[in-house]
Chain A
């Protein structure tokens, strides 16, 4: 029994060592066809949270509190990192097409592992009009099935209706795919 436990421990440590291998630029093998996710599905209540954040004007005076958005449609956009090209594409599109995609009366927040100070710089660089939240421990990304195993959030989008339930989710939002924005726009329009 003891030797079985020892072997199990060694195997677990070996797996952990593999999981902690630094990321590389070149993918060197097949990737899983699907992600296992645990975030709330459409129709389920969106988990409550509060997070510090920032806009291009500086840090938010109060932490963002999802429960205070009840009565408004809220869009949560999880993304990997500030200043990366995919995230720049996504938030430039939100900036340029925000009135069309979201319209009036919708709260839009970006959420990544970056710090409040990083968010201020990123929002200023692209002139982003919405708040960016600092999920530095990935706690909220994990709640929403949006944490990658590389230590940052995957690019996902949730639309939360006025009652606080998930009305739409895209667990692989394509920042460079025009259809992804059209689909998001339609989802927001359905619950306004």
Chain B
């Protein structure tokens, strides 16, 4: 029985991962597996208000970027994220999750005032997002399909975000029973 479920899970993951083919640049340590249901958690924003990811996950495609102001790969990745947001921001919910490690809300606000990403930014002061998604490095991008499952997980400065989103949006919806 165990092997049946393992095989089934592997086949689902392989089908979903076909959406997410990208050249390797850095290895993802931790992170959710492709095909897993994305954790639906509530994370604080910079004002301390709670934001429920459940208002987005499972309803439309969602891109989560785990980042920090001091993170060089995040800064290098920014043009790719910005370009993807400009192109797909109407179809995909973009959410930046500042990891809060080595940060202050004031410092993040100052950074945002200078960079104006244009999309929702949260301040994960309790580590709820990083724990739930098992995030081990900043510059980690998680893309969740409209079915609420993880379609892509990558880390580093050289991620082709527009390419991944283009393939995700062009692919037919996956049919699953679980």
8 A Cβ contacts from B19-74 to A: 20-29, 31, 33-36, 66, 68, 70-74
In the complex, number of A-B residue pairs with CB atoms less than 8 Å apart: 115
User: Given A27-B34, A30-B9, A86-B138, A178–B27 Cβ distance below 8 Å?
Assistant: no
A51 within 8 A of B: no
Of the residues B127, B138, B156, contact of A174 by C-beta under 8 Å: B127
8 A Cβ contacts from B145-166 to A: 152-156, 159
B169 within 8 A of A: no
Interface size class of B (residues with CB under 8 A): 35 or more
* Chain B facing A: main interface SS: loop
A163 to B159, alpha carbons, bound, how many Å? 48
Nearest-CB distance from B41 to chain A (Å)? 13
Interfacial chain B residues near A34, Cβ < 8 Å? none
8 A Cβ contacts from A133-175 to B: 150, 154-155, 174-175
Does B138 contact A89, Cβ atoms closer than 8 Å? yes
Of the residues A25, A27, A92, A93, contact of B159 by C-beta under 8 Å: A25
- B-side interface residues toward A, CB under 8 Å? 9-10, 13-14, 17, 20-29, 31, 33-36, 66, 68, 70-74, 99-102, 125-127, 130-131, 134-139, 152-156, 159
